[in-house]
């Protein structure tokens, strides 16, 4: 049963859930190296029907994991997309079978830098092979096939999750019916790469970095915290930061900052260190930066092979993944006569908008998923 703290969030919740880990023999990466064995951490919500045609794969963003909805035992807060996943919600678990997995290269149960190397009994850490967005999707395909699912009803995600959804439509065009891409891009701009590079350099500059072969007692915590602080600035809009913090002083006796926004960022950085691994941060941000389906004519050519319909959502206040990048995707789909609906929401929260509760966004997702029209549904 949910705790009293959980009840605030638990309306329409899938309840208490558990992360499971499945093991496959191996996965050959795009770079030629092999992960042996391959482990994938995942959660499911709802029931797979007899035809196995009601499954939706939800893909998480950079710092996310398999826990998309419901509560883990003892947790006070639900999974990151709980507002949208559950009975009667946009991703209605009375109708759909929702699958959410941790990306490989991450640090929450799937194969990655924290995985134990069978050759020496120690974590791979920085010796783990480079992982691409394509590799993440290929690992997910193994999981989907394990369930006996030939064609997904939809693949959905925001930010890095949107890139995975795009990759699914290109790599497995006959394996999904619908694709939902939110606050995302077909490739990173120089500015987006620059933000990630600053974060990586903060980690590499930490005295405890030790070429990525650090111990749990001497982790590059300061560098990872700084990387998270830098990243978190890009997730919020100027309007949201002005409204939330202004030029207010910090609460309490905090000597290291003069402003509330500084105190907030310090908290975000320090709490992130408790739940994420520095090597994984480097691996996942590099996967983001190296992902490229191209732009313009190149993107149009790549997307000529897709066979699903699309919902693309952008946010006016998102300056990390600005709407023009979503519009690039939409234009290339339209040139290929692919059914696509595009929505630009005027949500003031910035890049994080796709994660936050919104009745308007809920309605858009709900209408798209329930629509049987092969054209534009808005």
Tokens found for residue 326: 């979503």
Residue 95 annotated in ligand binding: no
Tokens found for residue 3: 């705790």
- Give the position of tokens 């030629």: 32
The residues assigned a catalytic role are 159, 318, 351
Residue 352 annotated in ligand binding: yes
What is d(CA 279, CA 288) in angstroms, rounded to the nearest whole number?
A: 14
Residue among 236, 208, 246, 254 at smallest CA distance from 315: 236
Residue ranges for the known binding site are: 228, 352
Residue ranges for the known binding site for substrate are: 228, 352
């Amino acid at each position: 049963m949910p705790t009293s703290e959980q009840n605030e969030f638990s309306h329409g919740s899938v309840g208490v859930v558990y992360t499971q880990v499945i093991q496959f023999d191996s996965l050959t990466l795009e770079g030629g190296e092999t992960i042996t064995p391959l482990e994938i951490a995942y959660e499911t919500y709802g029931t797979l029907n007899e035809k196995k045609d009601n499954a939706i794969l939800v893909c998480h963003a950079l710092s996310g994991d398999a826990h998309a909805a419901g509560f883990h035992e003892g947790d006070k807060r639900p999974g990151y997309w709980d507002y949208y996943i559950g009975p009667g919600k946009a991703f209605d678990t009375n109708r759909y079978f929702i699958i959410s997995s941790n990306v490989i290269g991450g640090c929450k149960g799937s194969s990655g830098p924290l995985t134990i190397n069978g050759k020496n009994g120690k974590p791979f850490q920085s010796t783990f092979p480079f992982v691409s967005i394509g590799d993440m999707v290929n690992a997910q395909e193994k999981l989907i096939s394990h369930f006996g699912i030939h064609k997904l009803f939809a693949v959905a995600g925001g930010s890095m999750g949107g890139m995975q959804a795009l990759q699914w439509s290109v790599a497995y065009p006959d394996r999904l019916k619908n694709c939902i891409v939110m606050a995302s891009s077909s490739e990173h701009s120089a500015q987006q790469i620059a933000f990630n590079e600053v974060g990586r350099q903060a980690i590499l500059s930490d005295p405890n970095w030790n070429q990525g072969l650090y111990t749990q007692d001497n982790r590059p915590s300061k560098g990872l915290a700084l990387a998270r602080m830098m990243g978190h600035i890009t997730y919020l809009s100027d309007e949201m930061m002005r409204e939330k913090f202004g030029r207010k002083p910090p609460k309490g006796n905090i000597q290291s900052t003069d402003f509330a926004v500084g105190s907030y960022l310090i908290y975000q950085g320090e709490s992130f260190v408790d739940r994420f691994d520095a090597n994984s941060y480097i691996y996942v941000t590099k996967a983001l930066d190296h992902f490229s389906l191209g732009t313009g004519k190149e993107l149009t050519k790549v997307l000529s092979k897709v066979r699903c319909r699309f919902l693309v959502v952008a946010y006016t206040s998102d300056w990390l993944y600005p709407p023009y990048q979503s519009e690039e995707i939409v234009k290339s789909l339209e040139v290929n006569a692919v059914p696509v609906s595009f929505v630009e929401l005027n949500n003031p929260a910035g890049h994080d908008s796709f994660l936050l509760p919104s009745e308007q966004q809920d309605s858009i997702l709900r209408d798209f998923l329930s629509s049987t029209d092969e054209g534009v549904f808005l």
